[in-house]
Structure 1
């Protein structure tokens, strides 16, 4: 028994790409990025992180650049 194919409601035009993402496919990675960036910018919240002075200076430098 052959499988039925689904037709598009709108015909595709040549050279166009029809990609539709759900809202959470954009929001969740953005939320994860912002939360990780917040942890990096505020190292006082990361109590378990005992860092190398080089890493600490680098994070502090990035924080100063972002807050300008």
Structure 2
């Protein structure tokens, strides 16, 4: 069985672009831009971030759940 030989390209042919066009969907640019803008706004005004508040909402929910279980028991 014979092996295929690799043909060498002419260096002049390699200088030309291959003509491949890459087309991205609109959301591949829009979503990262929106995420970047949202993070930038949070940095500029950290009071709007829920994680910056003194008492997170999760703690409040867990306390209410504990109180409900205490009443039911």
TM-score, with length taken from structure 1:
0.46
- TM-score normalized with structure 2 length: 0.43
If asked which structure has higher relative contact order (CA below 8 Å, sep 6+), I would say: 1
Q: Work out which of the two has the higher radius of gyration on C-alpha atoms and give 1 or 2.
A: 2
